[in-house]
Structure 1
Amino acid sequence: MSNSKQQKPFEKENYPISSEIIYYGDRKFTYVVIQEEEKPHYLICFGDNLQYQVVSAQSPFDASVELHKIITPDKKTAVSGVYLFGLQLKCIDRYRKGRPRELKLHEELSKTTQIKRAKGLAKKEQIHFENSIKNFYNPKDRVVLRTLDFTIENKEYHVTFEDDDSVKKKQKLQSMAYVQDIENIPRNAYRHLAAVESTLPREYAISQTRQEINACMGELIPINFIDLNSTIVQEGPLEEPDITDPLIIEQVVSATGKGAYRSVKKILEYIIPSYIKKGVLDPAIPTIHLRISGDGRNVGRKVKHVMITVALLDDSMNLFKPDCHYTTVLFPGTENYPTLTVAVNALIQELQEL
């Protein structure tokens, strides 16, 4: 390096034919390009036989600072790392841009870059699609690209071009929660299914929606608890169980001595408008007919599960459908008179008031 006053920086070079480049600016720098790296480590060799070296993987300036700590320890200044490594050379930049660029493999990219490239590809395809519509459809036709699906190394990408409709999304999640409950689809089974079909909503989103529904219903039709400990009757092993799910059995056994009651008035307030809308009930006729029924099921071999429901006899076409029976009383235990007397006490009072 030597001092040289120049009005305008310029480069004397014949790169890449010649690896030597001379840069004239405020100072003169002579560079010899050894090898270009995609991920450079900034290495400086110095000494009479270049036997010493400093290296930095962070920045050229960091390498320059480390060099000057050794060769000029008493000075706090350092040569610019950009000029020291020739990163300002236009001929190098021009040559690099002119070469065909080889992109990294997908598996070598970070998650952020993978998503960024997928979005970039999708955007390009959307533009190409919109530009091609006029060649295949009438301008008055409303042609919309909704989704794009593609795979990279067996990894699936599903890109949606429509604006996120929160109402439709919520309705879809509610429908999925309904299907899971009606068809008794376990959460783990649905997770496996969603892993195979990427367009299905995630299980955690459905679970959250179910919790929101339960919270809403808890406000509309509150659940009141009943203490049945004084009425428990111990029995021997039961016959063949109706329910064998270990989780349900554990929950029912742990709830022994506790019952739950939902107000029949609240239930009727909630369901009557829909029955009027369907034409099953006539607002001009104030009398409705209810059917109270109940049954017990064996949960494992240790305890029964007793459920009491209410249904509208006016809806005779759907009277035997489970969806049209609304649970009012639920408790683990046997169907004995003392327990039923306590469990249905609130139900009897409300029916008398009605």
Structure 2
Amino acid sequence: MPANRKRYFTELTSQSQKNKRISMIGKEIATQTLIILKENKFTSPSEEIIASLETIIFKINGEIVELIFHSDNITDFTQYLDSIIRACDKTLISHDSYHRLAKTVPNLIREHVIEKCQNKITKTMNILIPIKLFNIHSINFNDVDNENQQDIDGIEFNDDDVGNGAYQSIFSLLDIIIPILTTSLPPVLKIGDKINIKLSGNRRNVGRKQKHVMLTMCILNEKEAVLSPAHQYSICLYLEKESYDSLSTVSAKFSHELEQLKTNRYKDSNNTIWPDVKIQCFFKKLNNWIIDELHLMLRISDVLFQCLFYELIKKKDFANITQILIIAEMKRLHIYFEFYPPIMKNGKWKWTSLMGPDKEKILKDFQIRHLFDEQQAIRGQDIEHLWHEFYHLYKIMRQKSLIDKEINQFEADAKQ
């Protein structure tokens, strides 16, 4: 349409008409930009344009409008969306929060595009790693091939769902994890290596009132990486108090898969059979534990934290002063941490459950002495020294090998 026949932008009444006019401008700008780039020799010797127009921001009557000129490379744009979604997941940015953020920052990808990509990823993962529901009190755990399970999408457990849970196949997880470990640089696994799998369990309080138990698996070949929560892969989650009986019942759900791994070994997507799979299970009664250095650190750190916090909670100024100091120190270490006051009159204070990497940070760098007044300064220094010395012993235990002199020194330090 000739320019003299176009209506003024301010006279357009519907948003669709405005969007159409803006889109038309974008196409004209893109065309003219190519001409300008060629005229100014933004090209290779073969006359291929080496520059591209990415975005333009207008301000029309006080409203910010951004034109995004997507690359023809769909793969690049998909990877860009994936990176945004991963950042949102890691920082716990919800759909509503991203919607508000996108309103404030106009150059962010619109939330409906992000949501569409998230749904696509979810559907893909549901195909690759199906998630099924069960009830610990009624399900037949021997029925490992039961496909008549309710779809997990949109399911939320509440206080009335004690005993309900969800699980996913160990084989399905291995189908995703093993290719990543074999293609990483340097590769964590090579064809013919022994795959060392560890299964373990952990309990947590959700929202200070609902208890749940999570069973996880990790690939010990990843070494120090297994300390990160990102490398602890959940295979089962159910609402229940942790007990030996419940863990035994739920772990029976995976007995068939574990037996297959032991007898038939693991065959990956390339039909490569991994000849040796070693499985460690940590669902034993406490008096039968065969402890390793990681679980030793996790359990002893829990005791150290509990002893300190319960001692400080007895102080009259804990809620108004000491609690704030502890949370501030946790923030300094980049650790999310909260205290939860007792609900009942004679109840106990609770606090955020911590993972291995955060516990390591606290043992190594947490400053305890400033939590005590001048009269108890020595007490604070002694506790801080105890934490640091235990961390030192833990790091020695994590070493691949020790000479006799180091072992003797470790024994002497441990007895101090």
Number of aligned positions between the proteins: 239
Q: Say if 1:182 and 1:252 are closer, same or farther in 2 by CA, change over 3 A.
A: farther
Q: Distance in 1 between matches of 2:188 and 2:134?
A: 33
Residues 309 and 327 in structure 1, CA contact (< 8 A), matched pair in contact too: yes
CA distance in 1, matches of 2:137, 2:255: 20
| Structure-2 residue corresponding to 1:22 | none
Give the 3-state SS of the residue equivalent to 1:145 in structure 2. Answer: coil
Q: Determine whether 1:177 maps to 2:85.
A: yes
Which residue does the alignment assign to 1:253?
Answer: 159
Q: Is the 8 A contact 2:70 2:77 kept in 1?
A: no
Is the radius of gyration larger for structure 1 or structure 2?
1
1:245 counterpart residue number: none
Matched with 1:111 is: 15
Q: Is the 8 A contact 1:133 1:143 kept in 2?
A: yes
Aligned pair in 2 of structure 1 residues 302, 122: CA closer, same or farther (>3 Å)? closer
User: What's 2:327 paired with?
Assistant: none
Which residue of the other structure, out of 194, 199, 206, is the alignment partner of 2:107? 199
Map 1:223-242 → 2, pairs under 5 A: 223-229=131-137
Identity across matched positions, percent? 29
With over 3 angstroms needed to count, the CA separation of the structure-2 counterparts of 1:124 and 1:294, relative to structure 1, is same
Match of residue 300, structure 1, among 182, 201, 207: 207
Shift of 1:271: 1.0
List aligned pairs for 1:136-151, cutoff 5 A: 136-137=40-41, 140=44, 142-151=50-59
Q: TM-score, normalised by structure 2?
A: 0.51
Give 1 or 2: higher strand fraction. Answer: 1
The residue aligned with 2:232 is 325
> Which has more helix, going by share of residues?
2
How far off its partner does 1:171 sit?
2.7
- Closer, same or farther in 2 for the Cα pair 1:175/1:253, shift >3 Å? farther
Partner letter of residue 189 of structure 1? S
TM-superposed CA distance for 1:291, in Å, is 1.7
Q: How far off is 1:174 after superposition?
A: 2.5
Instruction: Give, as a single letter, the amino acid of the residue that structure 2 aligns with 1:111.
Output: Q
Kindly indicate whether the alpha-carbon contact (under 8 Å) linking 1:307 and 1:327 is maintained by their aligned counterparts in 2. yes
Secondary structure, counterpart of 1:289 in structure 2:
strand
In 2, Cα distance between equivalents of 1:223 and 1:296: 20
Report the counterpart of residue 346 of structure 1 in structure 2: 253
Relative to structure 1, is the Cα distance of residues 288 and 133 closer, same or farther in structure 2, using a 3 angstrom cutoff?
closer
Match among 242, 252, 255 for residue 335 of structure 1: 242
Measure how far apart 1:217 and its partner are.
1.9
Q: Deviations over 1:129-157 (max 9, x none)?
A: 44444664465463333332211012222
2:346 aligned residue: none
C-alpha spacing 1:306/1:212, structure 2 compared with 1 (3 Å)? same
Equivalents in 2 of 1:101, 1:312: separation in Å? 68
Q: How does 1:1-354 map to 2 (within 5 A)?
A: 104=8, 106=10, 108-133=12-37, 136-137=40-41, 140=44, 142-162=50-70, 165-229=73-137, 251-278=157-184, 279-285=187-193, 287-354=194-261
Inter-CA distance 255–132: structure 2 relative to 1 (3 Å threshold)? same
Per the alignment, in what secondary structure is the counterpart of residue 229 of structure 1? coil
- CA-based RMSD of the aligned residues comes to 3.1
Q: Residue 219 of structure 2 aligns to which amino acid in structure 1?
A: L
- After TM superposition, the score normalised by the length of structure 1 is 0.59
Deviations 1:155-189 (A, max 9, x none): 22222345654433333333222222122112211
CA-CA distance at 1:270 after TM superposition: 2.1
Once the 2 structures are TM-superposed, how far is the Cα of residue 283 of structure 1 from its aligned partner? 0.7
SS in 1 for 2:65: strand
Contact 1:106 1:152 in 2 (8 A): no
For the Cα contact (< 8 Å) 2:42–2:51, is it kept in 1?
A: no
Q: Deviation digits for residues 12-67 of structure 1, max 9, x if unmatched? A: xxxxxxxxxxxxxxxxxxxxxxxxxxxxxxxxxxxxxxxxxxxxxxxxxxxxxxxx
The AA in structure 1 aligned to 2:167 is Y
- 1:318 offset after TM fit, Å? 0.7
CA offset at residue 107 of structure 1? Answer: 6.5
Looking at structure 1, the residues matched to 123 and 17 of structure 2 have their Cα atoms a distance apart, in angstroms, of 40
